Amino acid sequence: MGKFSDKVVLVTGSSRGIGASIAKAFAGEGATVIVNYLQNQTAAEEVVANCVKLGGDSWAIQADVTSESDVKSMVEEILLEMGKIDVVVNNAFKPYTFDPDNRKLAHELTWGDYEEQINGAVKSTHHVCQAALKAMKKQTGGSIINIVSNLVANPIIPYHEYTTAKSALVGYSRNLAAEVGSFGVRVNCVAPGLVYPTTASQHTKEEVKEMLISQTPLRKIAKPDDIAGPVLFLASDWSRFMTGQTLYVDGGLVMK
C-alpha cells in the first residue's frame, strides 16, 4: 500500500510540467488524484492515464481556477464523488516566460501586468482554498501546498510581476496557516528555482542556466520530478507538525 492510498488529492494546473509530475507522484503512492486543467484536455487525459498505470485512481476536471464558480463546481464534483478532499496543491499560475532578455523592466510594467500575475497566483489559490476548506474543517484535517518560487527570497533576475505575485502568495499562505491550524489543516509552500524543461523555461537561454548552475551548490537545474518529493513530504504525516513554512527546492541556491 502506498503512503497516500486512502487520500484524495487535487492538483491544479496539472496537465503538464511540475503539476503533472506532482500528480503522478501522488498516484504512485496510491492516491486518488484529480488532474485540473484549463485548456489541454488531451494532455490532462494522458496524465490521468499515467496516474492509473502508476496505481492511483484519477480523473480530469476542466476549470479556470481564477473563476470562483468554476472552482466551486470542481470541488463540489470531487466531494460528490469522493466525500472528502485531503490534499490540495495549488500549482496553476498565469503563463509566464522566464527570458531575462525579453522581460519587462520596472518602468515598462503597467498595473495590469501585476494584476494578471496576482490573479493567476493569489486569486486562484484563494478560490480553491475557500472551496476546499469547508470540507477540510469538517474532516478536522487536510494539507494545502502552494507552489511559489525561490525568487521571493533571491530575485537573481527581477521578474517583477511574477515574483511580486508569488511573494503575495507566501503572505497569503502564512496568514491562512495561522487561522486554520486549530482545525487540523496545514498550509505550506514549496519554492522551486528554475525547473527545466517546462513551458515557462523553454526560452531560458543556455548561458542563464549555466550561470544558475555555477551558483547552485548541487550544480544542476531541477527537473519537474525534483519538486514532487518535497510536495509529498508536506502532504504526509511526516510533516504533521509543520505549517506556515516555505521549503526552497533549488539545489541550495537559497539557504534559509
Instruction: Name which residue leads in pLDDT, 208 or 19.
Output: 19
Q: Which residue has the higher pLDDT, 198 or 93?
A: 93
Residues serving a catalytic function are 162
Q: What does the block give as the cell for 178?
A: 495561522
Q: Are 14 and 91 in contact (CB under 8 A)?
A: yes
Mean pLDDT calculated for residue range 154-182: 97
pLDDT at position 54, please?
97
Alpha-carbon span 32 to 52, nearest angstrom? 9
pLDDT value of position 1:
65
- Least confident span in 28-32, 100-104, 118-122, 124-128: 100-104
Task: State mean pLDDT over 65-74.
Answer: 98
- Answer for the pair 145, 234: CB distance below 8 angstroms, yes or no: yes
pLDDT of 2 above 90: no
In whole angstroms, what separates CA 84 from the centre of its chain?
A: 20
Q: What percent of the chain shows pLDDT beyond 90? A: 87
What does the angle CA 181 – CA 152 – CA 112 come to, to the nearest 5 degrees?
100
Beta partners for 118? none
pLDDT tens digits for range 236-246: 999 999 999 99
* pLDDT band (50, 70, 90) for residue 197: confident
The residue among 139, 138, 166 whose CA lies nearest residue 151 is 166
C-alpha cell at 50: 499515467
Domain boundaries, the chain: 8-249
When pLDDT is cut at 50, 70 and 90, the band that residue 20 belongs to is very high
* Mean model confidence pLDDT for the chain: 95
Determine the average pLDDT of the residues in 27-47. 97
In this structure, are residues 7 and 34 in contact, taking their beta carbons and an 8 Å threshold? no
Binning pLDDT at 50, 70 and 90, where does residue 52 land? very high
CATH superfamily, domain 8-249, is: NAD(P)-binding Rossmann-like Domain (3.40.50.720)
